[in-house]
Amino acid sequence: MRSFLLNGGRALLAAVALTTAHSALAEFPDKPITLIVGSAPGGSNDVFARMLARRLGDSMKATIVVENKPSGGGILANVLVAKAPADGYTLAVVSSTFTTGAAVRDNLSYDPVKSFTHVAMLAKGPLLVTVGKDSQFKDIQSLVAYAKQHPDRLNYGSSGTGSINQFASEIFCEAAGIKMTHVPYKGMGPATNDLMGGQIQMLIASAPSILGQVKGGAVRALGVTAAEKSAIAPDLPALEQVGYKGSAVDLWWGVIGPANMPKAVTEKLNTAINDALKSEDMKAFFLKEGAEPAPESPARFGTFVAEELTRWKHIAQAKNIKAD
């Protein structure tokens, strides 16, 4: 009898827990969701976050508030999310800097893998290899040929030490067997200005940050950091296709939350985000901004983040890339 009661009690508790979980999922979200962006308004993270907030607000019948918390590498936003209650009401839109920045810093108060729930991947896109509009280099091959004859003569820019731009440039240089001098800037704006002014000779930049200048004729694009041609810039050769094996680098965007979010809430958010990414208008929106939708499960996104972090740490150590 006592065994029956104990077993019956456990069953009752399990049933109550299951009912509570279903109830919480049915009610989520029943208050505003905060979507934090670790950069100023206008950047790709911010643009993607605001579009996502509108779409999820409609589909989930929720109020989603975008808050900008600018800081170097988005660290402040990451800290705020890591310390937030793990209930799904505090999220962040992050990009490749989430892992490249962590790869060059050993004093972060969070772990990019263990401190977060990796809710959903949003999009991916290659970076563009660009030179000034008056540059002598008309294609990748002429740039590489000159750099081989004049090691360290050419300067390449980036948005800062440990940025995806620096990593992509170092990977390209390694694949091409050339050496260039790194010139870090505090953001893509000043780097692009110096590319146009001739102070630097190459800039590998994300499509959202440089495609407008390419289309406007202010800079010249020579290729994309991809394994094959990209719909983002179909007229440009992919670096791997023209012989620079191992040079493919994708810029990516995704949504994270605090660690240990309820599985049901995580999956509900993931489903809503992936459904939005499948719509034709979202595909067109991302393509216009220089990216393509890349829906993933939470588990696969988490694995991807871990793999990215390992890759960048290896390159940072090999190239002695450290945060300022």
- pLDDT tens, residue by residue, 79-93: 999 999 999 999 999
- Does residue 242 contact residue 144 with C-beta atoms inside 8 Å? no
CATH of 7-125+251-319, one of 2.30.30.100, 3.40.190.150, 1.10.3470.10, 3.40.50.1980: 3.40.190.150
Distances (CA, A) of 278 to 46, 87, 303: 20, 26, 22
pLDDT at position 15: 46
With 50 as the cut, is the pLDDT of residue 19 above it? no
CATH topology for the 126-224 domain: D-Maltodextrin-Binding Protein; domain 2 (3.40.190)
| Angle 47-42-87 from CA coordinates, rounded to 5° | 50
Residue ranges matching CATH 3.40.190.150 in the chain: 7-125+251-319
Q: What is the pLDDT of residues 275-311, one digit of tens each?
A: 999 999 999 999 988 899 999 999 999 999 999 999 9
What is the model's pLDDT at position 10? 58
Higher pLDDT, 166 or 18: 166
Q: Which residues in 200-312 belong to E strands, given as ranges?
A: 202-206, 219-224, 250-258, 292-293
Give 20-62 pLDDT, tens digit per residue: 445 556 689 999 999 999 988 877 889 999 999 999 999 999 9
From CA 178, how far away is CA 163, in angstroms rounded? 20
For the chain, residues classed under CATH 3.40.190.10 are 126-224
Out of 9-13, 28-32, 99-103, 180-184, pick the least confident: 9-13
pLDDT in tens, 171-188: 999 999 999 999 998 888
CA angle, corner 207, sides to 190 and 201, nearest 5? 45
State CA 130 to chain mean position distance.
20
Q: In this structure, what token pair is assigned to residue 305?
A: 């983040």
Note whether 100 and 183 are within 8 A (CB): no
